[in-house]
């Protein structure tokens, strides 16, 4: 349900991602609307909409911005993620550190996976034999648990909407008609992206500090 011709890359999890639910971890491709997913801020919340789209190896070779990023187990901190996690380039991951607090005014910030590429263990998957991407929508923008790492759900801002197919947009607007008139819902956390996010990553690497730490 993504638009394969869209200039805006999608915000998605790859098939095989294990999502924490009210009944334990489940592969994202087994989830359906109505399933209860565990969120960081609001406990178990029902999926309101879930979509997916597959891209062939040829499509990934032709469009670098569609290639997934793999975050190796433990790359961002102790057991974070618990196992390798594969997401799209724009999918935001929750980081937690004193450096983030000093730079962005919040110890927790959401950072696109592509801006984490300076971190050892985070890399573009250039040899993928195709990928199937999934994204979940809730009543609010949520932080969920994927392979043990805190990551975002789909945020229905203008850029995310551009990456969806017309049929998917119609489905979402039917569920949430108010989204036709506004710019999306509030973000679950401060967003750090681009140069400032890459600078933050560089500071963590230089000082050998985890991106996901315990902050008192």
DSSP string, 147-185: TTEEEE----SHHHHHTB-HHHHHHHHHH-GGGGTSS-P
Q: Is residue 98 part of a domain?
A: no
Please report the pLDDT score of residue 51 as a whole number.
86
Q: What percent of the chain has pLDDT over 90?
A: 71
The pLDDT of 11-24, averaged and rounded, is: 95
- Encode pLDDT of 98-118 as tens digits: 999 999 999 999 999 999 999
In a domain, 212, yes or no: no
What's the domain count of the chain? 1
pLDDT at 44: 99
Q: Is the pLDDT of residue 5 over 90?
A: no
| Cα(9)–Cα(2) distance, integer angstroms | 9
Is there a domain that residue 129 lies in? yes
Is the per-residue pLDDT at 6 higher than 60? no
Note whether residue 203 is domain-resident: no
Pairing of strands 36-39, 108-112: unpaired
Would 195 be classed as within a structural domain?
A: no
Question: In 5-141, where do the E strands start and end?
Answer: 13-14, 18-21, 24-27, 36-39, 43-46, 49-55, 69-71, 85-87, 92-96, 108-112, 122-124, 131-137
- pLDDT tens digit string along 178-215? 666 655 678 999 999 999 999 999 999 999 999 999 77
Residue 101: φ, ψ to 5°? -65, -40
Report if residue 205 sits inside a domain: no
pLDDT of residue 160: 65
Length of the chain: 216
Model pTM?
0.88
Band (pLDDT 50/70/90 cuts) for residue 14 is very high
The pLDDT mean for the chain works out to: 89
In a domain, 49, yes or no: yes
Domain extent, residue 159, equals: 13-91+119-187
Nearest Cα residue to 192 out of 105, 81, 124: 105
Please report where in the chains the tokens 């991951």 appear, as a residue. 93
At 175 the pLDDT is: 63
Asked if the structure places residue 36 within a domain, the reply is: yes
């Amino acid at each position: 349900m993504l638009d394969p011709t869209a200039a805006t890359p999608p915000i998605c999890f790859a098939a095989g991602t294990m999502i924490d639910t009210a009944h334990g971890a489940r592969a994202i491709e087994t989830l359906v609307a109505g399933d209860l997913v565990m969120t960081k801020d609001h406990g178990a919340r029902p999926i309101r909409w879930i979509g997916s789209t597959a891209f062939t190896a040829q499509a990934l070779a032709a469009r670098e911005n569609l290639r997934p990023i793999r975050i190796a187990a433990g790359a961002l901190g102790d057991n974070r993620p618990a196992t390798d996690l594969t997401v799209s380039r724009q999918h935001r991951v929750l980081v937690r550190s004193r450096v983030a607090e000093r730079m962005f005014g919040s110890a927790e910030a959401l950072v696109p996976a592509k801006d984490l590429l300076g971190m050892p263990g985070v890399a573009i998957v250039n040899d993928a034999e195709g990928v199937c991407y999934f994204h979940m929508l809730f009543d609010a923008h949520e932080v969920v648990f994927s392979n043990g790492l805190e990551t975002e759900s789909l945020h229905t801002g203008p850029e995310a909407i551009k990456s969806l197919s017309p049929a998917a947009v119609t489905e979402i607007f039917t569920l949430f008609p108010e989204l036709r008139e506004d710019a999306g819902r509030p973000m679950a956390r401060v967003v750090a992206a681009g140069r400032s996010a890459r600078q933050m990553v560089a500071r963590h690497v230089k000082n050998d500090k985890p991106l996901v730490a315990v902050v008192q």
